[in-house]
Amino acid sequence: MVVRVLLAALLFLLTSTPGACHTKHIMVMEGEMALLQCSLKGKGDSKVIWTSYTTQKMDLTNMSSTEQRQMDVLVYQTSLFILSASVKHQGNYSCSVGNASSQCWITLTVNTAQSGEHEEGSKYSKSCPIQKSCTLNCPDVNVPPNITRKGFTWHKEGESKDGYFPRVEKKDSGVYTCTRSYLYQGQIYNMTFTVKLEVQPQKPKKTAVIILPHENHVVDVVLGSQEVIDCKAVLYSNFDSVFWLSDESIVDTNTSLPVFHNFTREKKGDEIKMTASLVFQRVSEEDLSKNYSCKLESVSQPSSFVTVTLRTQKARPSYISLASSIVGIVGVMVVTVVIYVKLKVDITLFLRDTLGCYKQTSDGKSYDAFLMCYESNTDAGLNAHDRKWLEGVLEEKFGYSLCLYDRDVLPGKATSEAVLDCIEQSRTVVLVPTSPDPGLGSGLLSAIHAALVERQTRLIFIKTETAQVSASGSLPEALELLSEAGVCVTWKGMNTVHNSSSFWKQLRYYLPASPKLRLLPHTIQDVALWKNILPN
């Protein structure tokens, strides 16, 4: 490689020495004017000698001007003009200075229309940016004073053209020929030059821009939390940059400040991607009142900026808070349901007692309940006295109208018929366990069950506590069926009934609301009643 470079340099030195010049080759169209220029310069008095080697060796320089005119040649200074080229001019020419110790050779070729060669004149080139004005320059040569310039014309592919383009387009590029006309001794001689026009596509003008990813430059922030606002820009100069301003002053890059700015620059080709981030350690009320702007400063374009508006968000709807609110709602619902289930009885009774919330029953029935005895299989059942007391409280204190078998059934009827009559007249049937057998046969119990199912009358089955815990099958089959058909209220014996209101609450809850008498608890009347009714 190094050797080749050295050789080339040596060759150049050898060839560029005076007296040793390269053979040039010039082509001209027949009839056109050709110019042969000697690369040697005449020193002092010694002039350039032109010698033609066409038909025979001829010293053109020392010819008279008339002889030159006859040969259609003209020697002027170091140049040889072939005024109108013809095939006879084709051949070798040499120019030398002084005593011909140094000589240059030029070969001239004359193209005829038949030869098909269309290499015309010397080649020049010109390039213009697209959509800009462009002027083609027609080259000129140094002519003797007795030759007059007569202007020039432009052609492209045989068509006449103007050498000036106010807005050059891509289609204008191509090879143009410029023909200059010269007047010499009453004769016009043409000389053609070729100019290649190149129209360069416009380079897209690259302008730096700020890119803020926030819609309308509004940034949602959360008070007290960290916020980072990115300002991105694509730059084309190392001297361009983006940075953040807070109310006209530049935000510091010191990361120990509550508000600072940091940045990254990344160079890719001729693009520089820069990101300036405005960092709020914890967004404060004071920050919201300030104006923050991202500014672009450039050496090649006017500076620009984008101002952001900080907008507070009450709370970000995060999945966590959404989930917790769902859990909360579900929790409240569960608690409500649990409370309602637990206190259903109390709430219903409270509404009935204090607000009079009950359904007005106009079903044509005479009694709220029919109290019926069944044989308790344990001795925890109610005895005759307890039963009287129960009936008394229900009627006197709570105001229920009761159908009692031994009081309200008209004498003379068959037992079963009387019982069914009573069920017919009552809204509820209450089965009361009694210790001495009341003497109702299992056939009657079955009939009652059938009647209840048929009429869809509510049945309240008062159970003794011991009966409840005993294994199933301890009750007669008919009773078992009845206890399953109705709702159960547990009788825990006389002593607990006095202390606990649970039995009464349960019983009253299942009994229909009685509009006839509503006694508010703890009135003087109430206490008196209790005193009268309660067994000593």
Binding site for ligand NAG (CB under 6 A): 23, 31, 53, 91-92, 98-99, 101, 105, 107, 153, 179, 181, 188, 190, 228, 254, 256-257, 262-264, 275, 277, 279
Alpha-carbon distance values, 301 to 204, 206, 239, 248 (Å): 15, 10, 12, 20
Question: Would you say 52 or 434 has its CB closer to ligand NAG?
Answer: 52
Axis crossing angle, helix 477-485 with helix 442-455, rounded to the nearest 10:
20
Q: Pick from 146, 153, 141, 152: which is nearest to 186 by CA?
A: 146
Residue 91: CB minimum distance to ligand NAG, A = 4
Q: Which is nearer to ligand NAG, 127 or 264 (CB)?
A: 264
Q: Which is nearer to ligand NAG, 92 or 246 (CB)?
A: 92
Q: Which amino acid is at 71?
A: M
Q: Least distance to ligand NAG from the beta carbon of 160, Å?
A: 9
Angle (CA) 487-488-491 rounded to 5° is 150
Judged by beta carbon, residue 1 or residue 228, the one nearer ligand NAG is 228
Strand 134-135 and strand 123-129: pairing?
Answer: unpaired
Which C-beta is closer to ligand NAG: that of 88 or that of 413? 88
SS (H, E, C) 501-524: CHHHHHHHHHCCCCCCCCCCCCCH
Q: In the complex, what is the shortest distance from the CB of residue 174 to ligand NAG, in angstroms, rounded to a whole number?
A: 18
Long-range contacts of 99-104 (CB under 8 A, 24+ apart): 100/49, 101/19, 102/18, 102/19, 102/20, 102/21, 102/40, 103/19, 103/21, 104/21, 104/22, 104/23, 104/24, 104/38, 104/39, 104/40
By C-beta, is 69 or 518 nearer to ligand NAG? 69
- Shortest Å, Cβ 92 to ligand NAG: 4
Close Cβ partners of 180 (under 8 Å, ≥ 6 residues apart) = 138, 140, 149, 150, 151, 152, 190, 191, 192, 193
Contacts of 260 (CB under 8 A, 6+ apart): 251, 252, 253, 254, 279
Residue 179 Cβ vs ligand NAG, minimum distance, rounded to whole Å = 4
Shortest spacing between CB 201 and ligand NAG, in angstroms? 33
Classify residue 14 by burial, with Cβ atoms within 10 Å: 0-12, 13-18, 19+: exposed
User: H-helix or E-strand containing 2?
Assistant: helix 2-15
Report the 10 Å Cβ neighbour count for 506.
Answer: 18
Q: How far is the CB of 219 from ligand NAG (least distance, A)?
A: 15
CA distance 422 to 493: 27
> In this complex, which beta carbon is closest to ligand NAG, that of residue 246 or of residue 275?
275
Of 256 and 536, nearer to ligand NAG (C-beta) is 256
User: Cβ closer to ligand NAG: 266 or 363?
Assistant: 266
**Closest CB 280 distance from ligand NAG, rounded Å:** 10
Residue 80 C-beta: closest distance to ligand NAG, Å: 16
CB of residue 304 to ligand NAG, shortest distance in Å: 21
Q: Provide, rounded to whole angstroms, the least separation between the CB of residue 123 and ligand NAG.
A: 19
When the beta carbons of 261 and 463 are compared against ligand NAG, the nearer one is: 261
Q: 71 has which bridge partners? A: none
Question: Which of 33/440 has CB closer to ligand NAG?
Answer: 33
Q: How many CB atoms lie within 10 A of CB 101?
A: 9
CA 105 to chain centre: 76
Residue nearer to ligand NAG on the CB measure, 267 or 516: 267
Q: Which of 131, 134, 259 is nearest to 203 (CA)?
A: 131
Return the number of the residue (196 or 232) whose C-beta is nearest ligand NAG. Answer: 232
CB 336 → ligand NAG: shortest distance, Å? Answer: 46
Q: How far apart are CA 98 and CA 47, in angstroms?
A: 6
Calculate ∠ Cα 190-192-196, nearest 5°. Answer: 160
> Shortest gap between Cβ of 119 and ligand NAG (angstroms)?
17
- Count the Cβ atoms, other than its own, within 10 Å of residue 266: 9
Q: Report the chain's C-alpha Rg in angstroms.
A: 63
Instruction: Note the helical H segments in 251-410.
Output: 285-288, 319-350, 384-392, 405-408
Judge whether 385 and 535 are in contact, CB under 8 Å.
yes
**Cα 12 to Cα 3, 6, 8, 63, 166, distances in angstroms:** 14, 10, 6, 35, 43
Could you report how far apart the first and last alpha carbons of the chain are, in Å? 136
